[in-house]
Structures are given as C-alpha cells and as structure tokens.
C-alpha cells in the first residue's frame, strides 16, 4: 500500500501526491514527499498522511482494505539558494 500525502496551508490544499515507496527493511517501506514553492509563500505547511488500499496483493488471505491511519506534521519553508 502506498502513502497518500496532502500538503495544505490552513484548509487550502496546496498539492497531493502518492510518492514512490522504497523498501528499507523486509517489512518496512519509506516514502518521502517534497514540495517546492517560490519565496513569496511564507506560510507554514501541514502534511497529512494516510494510506490507500494495497494493489499488489497476490494471496486471497491477505487483507485488501486501507488501514484506519492518518498522521500530520507542520513545517515551515526552508530557503535554499543555488549559485
């Protein structure tokens, strides 16, 4: 199953994505979401994470429902200058 990540400023959705998952252990996957905005956006962002239904199930005895899970975090923008 993949992570669905929604970036918001307040109640306004800025972007939504389902990033690529990378296996870091036999039972553990990692997904990373990054957004890029111009320097006129000075607000803090909230990233809400939930999971969709798995799509790569091979056996009938494995559950195919999406887990009842969500989490969020808030971050301020990070400015990077490239020369």
pLDDT tens digits, 7-60: 998 888 988 999 998 999 998 989 988 888 777 776 788 889 998 888 888 898
Is the predicted pLDDT of residue 80 greater than 60, yes or no?
no
Give how many domains the chain has, as a whole number: 1
What's residue 82's pLDDT?
A: 56
CA 23, CA 47: separation in Å to the nearest integer? 22
Comparing 1-5, 48-52, 73-77, which segment has the lowest mean pLDDT? 73-77
For residue 16, being part of any structural domain is answered with yes
- Based on the number of CB atoms within 10 Å of its own CB, is 58 exposed (0-12), middle (13-18) or buried (19 or more)? exposed
In terms of residue numbers, what domain contains 66?
Answer: 3-75
For residues 31 and 69, the answer to whether their CB atoms sit within 8 Å is no
In a domain, 59, yes or no: yes
The answer to the question of residue 25 being in a domain is yes
Residue 56 maps to a domain: yes
């Amino acid at each position: 199953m993949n992570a669905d990540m929604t970036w918001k400023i307040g109640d306004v959705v800025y972007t939504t994505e389902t990033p690529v998952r990378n296996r870091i252990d036999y039972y553990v996957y990692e997904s990373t979401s990054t957004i890029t905005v111009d320097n006129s956006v000075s607000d803090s962002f909230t990233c809400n994470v939930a999971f969709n239904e798995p799509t790569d199930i091979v056996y009938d005895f494995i559950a195919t429902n999406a887990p009842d899970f969500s989490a969020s975090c808030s971050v301020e923008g990070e400015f990077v200058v490239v020369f």
